[in-house]
Chains A and B, each alone.
Chain A
Amino acid sequence: MCRKSIKVVLKVFYLCIAMFVISGCSNSNKGTTDSEKNEDVVKVWHWMTDRQEAFEKLANDYFAQTGVKVVFENYAPSDVYRNKITAAASGDMLPDIYNPQSDKKELSSYIKAGYIANLTKEMNTGWKDVFFEKALVSNSFEENNEWRVEPGIYGVPLDVSSLMIYYNKDLFKQAGLDPEKPPKTWKEFISAGNKLREAGIQPFVSGFGEAWLVGAFAMSYQWSLFGKQGIIDTIDGKIPYDDPRWLRIFKLFEEMRDNKMFASGIVTMINKDAERTFATGRAAMAFNGSWGVNVYKAMNSALNYGIMYPPTLEDAKYPLLVFDCGGSSLFVNGNSPRKDKAIAFLRWLTQKEQQTYLAQATLNIPSNKESGQNLPEILKEFSNSISKTFENLPKLEAWQVTNYINLNLQSVIIGEKTVSQAVAEVQSEKVRQMKKR
């Protein structure tokens, strides 16, 4: 008995050593062939799982046309992708084309380190004209920006997306609402919510557990009440967060809560769960991005819905803008020896024909403004909303303050804090962050 088990252990041990040795050998062989192979291959790291097949097809077309080989490698979900990018950046081993998936502050670090190439020169040779103007906003830096990055265009948008409110036409009918006339003003929105509740339907759902979504909803009203200069002044600390207009924004959420507009569990819901809730007809309205069209189709192809803008406030001074999710953009590695090849490929990828194919294969709004002809009606409506997305800002609020806004909005929704308590907390965090600066 004793001997036998020793033999087994020994066998395993020898096997391990043998395999280790083999792996070492195969490694060294593979390593060299790989680096040789890599000389003229443009490598793309992306996270858009649902587009992998379409990308591969386009890469094949490109190879047939130009003889340049492009390889798309997919890493998902986004957290994993970000980790891979972070590690590669620390070792200066980024691929030729990628997206750091970060805000402008972090983007500026990538640019300064040379990991992202400035594409302004190429864009100015007619390339930028193919895009929706707003599509370039999140990929470019303004004059005199806070991060002292050379103004210009740095990223190539593949698609654009904005956040709108989807509504379920069948449920609207069921509650006695006109499915062709969704609420336009805040008052109508609340009264529609009441009617839905009376009919036993949950009025409103969104992935408010993902704090950014609750913040995005509030930001539409920030634009509408403050305007661009007002927002910049807020960031500069000239307008405090206990300003009556901010109180008003928080009160909107309180009003929705008091009218029982929110779906059960909304404050911890991730967006995928919110999408499921809407797709299965368990809530009548959903605040969600344009990708929802594709998601709802996969979850429930019979879903009968329309989209509407977030309801407007009657007395607001400025137009209500919608959150621009930045779409999906790709950046070129400034340190790459294949930089020019990469730029040429992206230029090709954003031309009308390729964009039309991508948009139809994956149901996204193409960044090329001429490629949206044959899209479904809903997506066309979405692409109209793109001109009404947030404008470019030269600076950003400190993320801690934004985080406080989001958390306090959640607190108001669950009735933990009053509106005045909530804005006071945001303001005191703002004061703390201003001191730090």
Chain B
Amino acid sequence: MISSRKEKTFNLLFIVPALVLFLVFNLYPLLRTIQLSFFEWNGIDKDMLFIGFAQYKHIIFSNPAFWKSMWNAAYITLLCLTLQNGLALLLAILVNRQIKGENIFRVIFFLPPVLSGIVVGLIWKFIYDGNFGILNTCLISLGFEQFKDFAWLSEIKTALSSVAVVHMWKGFGYGFIIFLAGLQTIPNELYESAEVDGANKWQQFINVTVPSMIPVFTMVSVLTVLGAMQIFDLIYSMTQGGPAGHTDVPITKIYQYMNNGEFGYSTAMAVVFGMLLLIVSLIQFYVSKKIKN
């Protein structure tokens, strides 16, 4: 569809409301934040000390704890991209098979996102508890005696994965409904014509469902990355970043600096973190475009 000059100008009207709100309420605070990242400031003092890129330099070269927290978040993200999205897609496809009770499952699978973080934190701590937890009780009754007293959230080997499991459990519902919506927008006639061509169900899935779903895949995976990298509440309520920093993630670090009167430094951390997320997302878009073509 080729548009004329006049049309192009008229088309801008579609985005004006979004753009205005964005400029005032999103971009302005963002720019202020970036500005703050060049100052040493505790959030209260009347005067701020301009120190240029010093804080960035410190974050990049001499804050290993921050980079470790980044790896922790990356690990959680990787698990989410594969397991959580795999589960969400599988469930969406299963529910989409027009089976009996489809509606009930749709409602149930969206319960974890609806539930309050307070309830989720409490429940999972009951499950993971070393002495009295449901998980260990089950494992011991299955004969795995070595799990007696095993505190899942306090062991270096399991703490991060245990938290990741909770995050995935809480988040798969979003992917589920977006995938479901995606599956529902694929026009029936595509399947019909595939069937006329003699394709079986599997071939239909590969040739019709998968290509139509690529934009949805991209979107869900970008959202998953953003959600998992920005994980915070769960960590805060389940481990406080412990044991000894092994479940620290960027946002808990940023929060820690902010709470210790290092407002400027914490905003610089947020900017560094945001830049990395931006790059990752751009790569995701680029890759998905390549695949689509």
User: In the complex, A touching B, CB below 8 Å?
Assistant: yes
Chain A contacts for B237, CB-based, 8 A: 270
Q: Does B274 sit within 8 A of A, measured CB to CB?
A: no
A416 to B43, CA, bound (A): 36
Instruction: Kindly specify which of A260-268, A357-365, A381-389 makes contact with the partner chain.
Output: A260-268
| Neighbouring A residues of B62 by C-beta, 8 Å | 432
- In the complex, the answer to whether A112 meets B45 with C-beta atoms within 8 Å is yes
Query: In whole angstroms, what is the CA distance A270 to B154 when docked?
Result: 12
The answer on a CB contact under 8 Å between B44 and A416 is no
Min C-beta distance of A89 to chain B, whole Å: 5
CB-CB under 8 A from A89, the residues of chain B are 43-44
**Interface code A255-281, partner B: CB below 8 Å = 1, 0 otherwise?**
000000001111111100100000000
Please name all residues of chain A whose beta carbon is closer than 8 Å to the beta carbon of B243 when the two chains form the complex: 267-268, 410-411, 413-414, 416
In the assembled complex, the Cα of A414 lies from the Cα of B155 at a distance in Å of: 8
Closest Cβ of chain B: how far from A12's Cβ, in Å? 16
Does B261 sit within 8 A of A, measured CB to CB?
Answer: yes
A202 engages B131 (CB within 8 Å): yes
Interface string of B138-150 (1 = CB under 8 A from A): 0000000000011
Which one of B45, B129, B131, B242 contacts A113 once the chains associate, using CB atoms below 8 Å?
B45
Q: If A264-B149, A282-B132 touch, does A411 touch B244 (CB 8 Å cutoff)?
A: yes
Contacts of B156 in A (CB 8 A): 414, 416
Establish whether residues A90 and B43, one from each chain, have CB atoms under 8 Å apart when the complex forms. yes
Instruction: Tell whether A72 is near chain B: CB-to-CB under 8 Å.
Output: no
Residues of B154-192 at the interface with A, using a CB-CB cut-off of 8 Å, are: 154-156, 159
Q: Is B96 an interface residue (CB 8 A)?
A: no
How many chain B residues touch A (Cβ–Cβ < 8 Å)? 32
Residues in A with CB closer than 8 Å to B159 are 268
Q: Per-position contact with B for A371-403: 1 when CB-CB < 8 Å, else 0?
A: 000000000000000000000000000010001
Residues of A within 8 A of B35 (CB): none
Tell whether A115 is near chain B: CB-to-CB under 8 Å: yes
A414 and B244 contact, CB distance less than 8 A: yes
Size category of the binding interface on chain A:
35 or more
Q: Given that A86-B43, A106-B42, A109-B44 are known contacts, is A267 also in contact with B261, CB under 8 Å in the complex?
A: no
Contacts of A202 in B (CB 8 A): 131
Q: Is the C-beta of A110 less than 8 angstroms from some C-beta in chain B?
A: yes
Are A410 and B260 within 8 A (Cβ)? no
Pick from A106, A109, A211, A432: contact of B240, CB below 8 A: A211
Tell me the complex Cα distance, A264–B150, Å: 7
> Which A residues are CB-close (under 8 A) to B43?
86, 89-90
Segment 404-423 of A: residues with Cβ below 8 Å from B: 407-408, 410-411, 413-414, 416
Report yes or no: A265 in contact with B130, Cβ–Cβ below 8 A: yes
Q: Cβ of B132: which chain A residues have Cβ within 8 Å of it? A: 282
CA A129 to CA B40, docked complex, whole Å: 40
A113 contacts B154, C-beta separation under 8 Å: no
Question: C-beta contact mask, A88-117 vs B, less than 8 Å → 1, else 0?
Answer: 011000000000001101100110110100
Complex Cα–Cα for A432 and B243 (A) = 24
State whether B130 touches A399 (Cβ < 8 A).
no
A416 to B240 alpha-carbon distance, docked (Å): 18
> Which residues of A lie under 8 Å from residue B261 when comparing CB positions?
102-103, 105-106, 109, 399
Residue numbers in A under 8 Å from B45 (CB-CB): 109, 112-113
**Which residues of the partner chain A approach B240 to less than 8 Å between Cβ atoms?**
209-211, 268, 270
Is residue B73 within 8 Å, beta carbon to beta carbon, of the partner chain? no
Question: Of A112, A265, A408, which contacts B153 at CB under 8 A?
Answer: A265
Q: Is the CB of A414 within 8 A of B154?
A: yes
Check if A408 sits within 8 Å of B44, measured CB to CB.
Answer: no
Whether B154 pairs with A267 at a CB distance below 8 angstroms is yes
Cβ-based interface call for B8 (8 A)? no
Given contacts A102-B261, A109-B261, A414-B156, contact A267 B44 (CB under 8 A): no
Interchain CA distance A321-B238 in the complex, whole Å: 31
Nearest-Cβ distance from residue B61 to partner chain A, whole angstroms: 12
Are the C-beta atoms of A268 and B245 separated by less than 8 Å?
A: no
Q: Which of A187-234 contact B (CB under 8 A)?
A: 202, 209-211
The yes or no answer to B207 lying at the interface (CB within 8 A) is no
Q: Which residues of A contact B81 (CB under 8 A)?
A: none
Min distance, Cβ B225 to any Cβ of chain A, angstroms:
26
- Interface contact B154-A265, CB-CB below 8 Å: yes
Give Cα A270–Cα B243 distance, bound, in whole angstroms.
12
Residue with the greatest number of chain B CB neighbours at <10 A, chosen from A264, A269, A270: A264
CB nearest to B150 among chain A residues? A264
Q: Is B97 part of the binding interface, using a Cβ–Cβ cutoff of 8 Å?
A: no
**A408 adjacent to B244 (CB under 8 Å):** yes
Beta-carbon contact of A266 and B154 below 8 Å: yes
| Inter-chain contact A115/B130, CB cutoff 8 Å | no
Nearest A residue to B238, CB-CB: A268
Q: Is A69 an interface residue (CB 8 A)?
A: no
Of the candidates B125, B244, B259, which one forms a contact with A407 in the assembled complex, judged by CB atoms under 8 Å apart?
B244
B44 touches A268 (CB 8 A): no
CA distance A202 to B129 in the complex (A): 14
Separation in Å of the B160 CB from the closest CB of chain A? 11
Does A352 sit at the interface, judged by CB under 8 A? Answer: no
For window 9-59 of chain B, which residues contact chain A by CB distance below 8 Å? 42-46
CB distance from B49 to the nearest CB of A (A): 13
B82 to chain A, nearest CB (A): 26
| Cβ B131 vs Cβ A268 within 8 A | no
CA distance A403 to B244 in the complex (A): 10
Best-buried of B62, B150, B237, B259 by chain A (most CB within 10 Å): B259
The closest CB in chain B to the CB of A202 belongs to: B131
A110 CB contact (under 8 Å) in B44, B125, B131:
B44
Known: A109-B42, A210-B240, A265-B130. 5 other contacts (CB 8 A): A106-B42, A113-B45, A265-B153, A270-B240, A410-B245
B-binding residues in A (CB < 8 A): 82, 86, 89-90, 102-103, 105-106, 109-110, 112-113, 115, 202, 209-211, 263-270, 273, 282, 399, 403, 407-408, 410-411, 413-414, 416, 432
Between A and B, 26 residue pairs with Cβ closer than 8 Å are A82-B259, A89-B43, A89-B44, A90-B43, A103-B261, A106-B261, A112-B45, A112-B46, A202-B131, A263-B131, A264-B149, A264-B150, A265-B130, A265-B151, A267-B154, A267-B242, A268-B153, A268-B159, A268-B242, A268-B243, A269-B154, A282-B131, A410-B244, A410-B245, A413-B243, A414-B155
